[in-house]
Every structure is written in C-alpha cells, then in structure tokens.
Structure 1
Amino acid sequence: MPAGRSEPSDAPDSSGPSAPAELPEYAERVLDTADRIPPGRVLTYGDVAEWLEEGGPRQVGRVMALYGGAAPWWRVVRADGALLPGHELRALEHYRAEGTPLREAGRAAEGHIPRIDMRRARWDGGD
C-alpha cells in the first residue's frame, strides 16, 4: 500500500525528481471521501467518483493506489466485492475487525478468500 498522503508510493529517491509537496485537489477529495466511510461499510470506486461528481472508477483507483495508504483503503472496493489483489489478507483483517458483511467463499473458490457482501456492506452516505 502507498506510503501516505504526503507523497506517492512510487516517490523517487533523492537522486531523482522530487515528489509533489501537496496532493492534487482531486486526490484530496477522494481520500476525504474514503475517510468518511464508516467502519464496516464500503463504497465502490465508481460510487466515490459519483459522490464527487468527477472522474470515474479508474481515476479513483489510481488515487487510492498512489496516495491511499494513510486512508482506510479497504473501504473503497471493486463493484463485485472481490478483495484487492495482493492485499486480500490485510483487507480481510480490517473487514473482520470492523464487522464488514462478507460472503464466505465456497470450497471450490480459489484460495477460499471471501468477498464483500455488497448488498449489505455498501454505504448509502447516510448516518
């Protein structure tokens, strides 16, 4: 996961060009939205873009990949409820600790990794 809000995860070392001192305004808005999602609830990348009335799922995903390490990244998810590839176990720890509704994987499912129960876990923006 990315280092945090002050610089992107792929920030160059001191021999290369310097990382931006501030986040782009859109990235700050995406991260602020992620911070608003209550524990145990999720929004899809598309939901965040719709909430902001700007960008789309790919733009939100890019922001989360570059700057989302200090935000609750596990609460911004794919629309199909699949866990973030490469970070499934870390995300699963957060989901279980927060009581996020999950759909347990069947025995035939590769790796037996559950998915988020999107019908029950998706946040509507209310209290």
Structure 2
Amino acid sequence: MSINPRYKKIWVVVKSIPKGSVSTYGDVARFSGYPGCARMVGTALRAAPDELNVPWHRVINSQGKVSFPSGGEKATSQQDILEHEGVVFLSGVVNLNAYAWQGNLDSELWRM
C-alpha cells in the first residue's frame, strides 16, 4: 500500500510537538505546507501506522478542545494523556496562548 506523501509531512510535524504542548489541526496543516487543510490532518492521523508512534493526542481543535465527543471514552483518554504530559484544561479547554506549540520545523521537513 502506498502512503500519501502529504501524510508523511503531517506525521513529521505532529511528531515534533513536544510533551506538554499542543497544536491545532489548522496549525499542523499550515506547518506541513497545506494551509486550509485542517481536515486532512485528521485523516492523516487516523491513517498513521501504530508503529510510527505519532502523538495524535497533541492535536486539538482551534477552540482548545479535544475533537472527540465530550464525555466519551476517546475524549476522556485524550485529555488524560495530555494532562499527564502537563497540559492544563480549564472546563475542558486548553489555553492555546500558554500551550500551543509554534516550533521551527525547517530542519525536520528538509530531512524528508
């Protein structure tokens, strides 16, 4: 099976998000070179092979919330993992000013 090269760039970006930080789907798309393609980020994360250990849980929506339905098992799991990594939620929302990652990816993306 052929892997979409766009997905590979997205996986590199997401793997660059450090513990204790988050990024939004839109920012990951922009950092990957695909501005306006936030939905593609979600698709790429779902397609990521388990053995790549892509930290999908560090990607949240632009409102600072996990994108799974509130109160569901997946939403609770994602929030628990992020809290364990040091991300603070207030009423289910992450302060993006405090926790959003804005790292430099030039060296990572050029190695692809």
When the two structures are superposed, what TM-score results if normalisation uses the length of structure 2? 0.76
In the alignment, structure 1 segments of 5+ residues that lack a partner are 1-19, 106-113
Say what the alpha-carbon RMSD is for the aligned residues.
Answer: 1.7
RCO comparison, higher one (Cα < 8 Å, 6+)? 2
Map residues 67-82 of structure 1 onto 2, 5 A cutoff: 67=48, 69=50, 70-82=53-65
Is 1:117 the counterpart of 2:90? The answer is: no
Note the 1:1-127 alignment, pairs <5 A: 20=1, 22-54=2-34, 56-67=37-48, 69=50, 70-85=53-68, 86=72, 87-103=74-90, 105=91, 114-125=92-103
Change (3 A) 1:121 1:35: same
User: Structure 2: how far apart are the matches of 1:92 and 1:80?
Assistant: 14
Provide, for residues 48-93 of structure 1, a one-character-per-residue CA deviation record: whole Å limited to 9, x for no partner.
1111222510111111122275310011110001113141111122
Answer with 1 or 2: which has the greater Rg.
1
State the number of aligned residues.
97
SS in 1 for 2:66: coil
- Please list every run of 5 or more consecutive structure 2 residues that lacks an aligned counterpart in the other structure: 105-112
Confirm or deny: 8 A CA contact 1:44 1:79 kept in the other structure: yes
Q: Give the fraction of aligned pairs with identical amino acids, expressed as a percent.
A: 24
Q: TM-score, normalised by structure 1?
A: 0.68
Q: Is the 8 A contact 1:31 1:68 kept in 2?
A: no
The secondary structure found in structure 2 opposite 1:96 is helix
